Amino acid sequence: MKIAHIILSRGFAGTERSTVESCNTQCQDHEVLLILRKNQAKKSGAGIRDRLDPKVTVAEVSSRFFTRAAIQKILNQWQPDVAHAHLRRATRLLAKCNTSAARISTLHIGFNGPHFLAMDGVIAISPWQLNHIPAGFNGHIRWVRNSLEPHPKPNRGKIEELRGNMGAATGTYLIGGVGRLSRSKGWDLLIPAFKAAAIPEAKLCIIGEGSQEEKLKSLAGNSKNIVFLGYKTNVKDYYPAFDLFVCPSREEPMGRVVLEAMDAGVKVIASDIEGPRDMLEEFSGIMFKSDDIDSLTEALKHAYKTRNQATPQQDLSPHYADAVNRDMVSFYQETLSRLKK
């Protein structure tokens, strides 16, 4: 097949990582094109291009001027069998394009606009999303798990080096969080909960960048036990260095960071919102009441008290990129068959 992916966001967060993994896996057996916005990478260097397999063809479009026309021209020239949009803007513009390709959109956030109704197929990344797709949608629907590339665990020396980078001494109970520094991610809940839990010899390290960085640093105050590391290109190396991973999000369609922490064998705390709840019901972890500092404080205390209990072995193979790709390609083929009827 000829598969064209379209993503117009900036940076390299969960949606961008998922899109790259789809492209890199699919290009082994299919022709794959990725349509990006120009200057897709952020100033920190967080971006997509240098993470793509060389087999993936890349086309850039302006993010401000004549974007739909540029996408239309590329589709006309490339003539894909499948055009797969990621996030709302790419979906909205694909809906306005004239193409014989099967138009697919992944609900990285939700069915958040009428343009999704123009798609021939919609992919949910978490089971809860299936119940939020309007009854009037006539396209093909499937839950396809978000992909995971298993990450090799660093050796003990590297882990100790990373812990040192985070200011963790011998005996420090290191709590970690990874994600965009925005209100939706709930760091303003985790910081006061961490302070209130008063766990002995504990340190909180948050990895990520975003608009609320200064506000969150102000909330942390002068505490030497709260560290902001900024964006890290090798963030997956850091997970095994944590004693506990916390996802305090107010909004999280699936919870990719939860999956990555589980891959590293780290105990997980997550809010009981729909995405992480689906993850922790399928695997294991500690849930707290969303947007509730007291509930998160108690969860932190419980995790510390049970720190010596072994973390259950998690079989994450259903999320491995090869398995996810087989499911996604099967969905493409079924959608194309429906269009031919």
CA-based R_g, the chain, Å:
21
- What is residue 55's three-state secondary structure? coil
Query: Are 143 and 213 found together in one domain?
Result: no
Domain that holds residue 94: 2-149+319-340
Nearest to 3 by CA among 95, 69, 110, 75: 75
Query: Are 181 and 134 found together in one domain?
Result: no
Across 222-238, average pLDDT? 93
What's the CA gap between 1 and 7, in Å, rounded? 19
Tokens representing 46? 């967080």
Across 146-167, average pLDDT? 92
CATH code, 234:
3.40.50.2000
Length of the chain: 341
Structure confidence by residue, pLDDT tens digits, 115-129: 999 999 999 999 999
Chain Cα centroid distance, residue 111? 17
Query: Are 38 and 84 found together in one domain?
Result: yes
Query: Are 311 and 286 found together in one domain?
Result: yes
Query: Are 236 and 325 found together in one domain?
Result: no
**Quick one: pLDDT at residue 251?**
92
Nearest to 36 by CA among 87, 98, 106: 87
**Quick one: pLDDT at residue 123?**
97
What's the CA gap between 117 and 139, in Å, rounded? 8
Structure confidence by residue, pLDDT tens digits, 72-103: 999 999 999 999 999 999 999 999 999 999 99
**Quick one: pLDDT at residue 303?**
97
Partner residues linked to 270 by β-bridges:
247, 287
Query: Are 94 and 241 found together in one domain?
Result: no
What's the CA gap between 71 and 60, in Å, rounded? 9
Query: Are 133 and 101 found together in one domain?
Result: yes
Across 307-312, average pLDDT? 87
Distances (CA, A) of 56 to 33, 52, 246, 282: 6, 7, 34, 33
Query: Are 259 and 126 found together in one domain?
Result: no
Secondary structure of the chain: what % helix, strand, coil (to 5)?
40, 20, 40
Backbone angles phi, psi at 307, to 5 degrees: -65, -25
Structure confidence by residue, pLDDT tens digits, 262-292: 999 999 999 999 999 999 988 889 999 999 9
Across 179-195, average pLDDT? 97
Counting the structural domains of the chain, the total is 2
What's the CA gap between 183 and 111, in Å, rounded? 21
Query: Are 193 and 329 found together in one domain?
Result: no
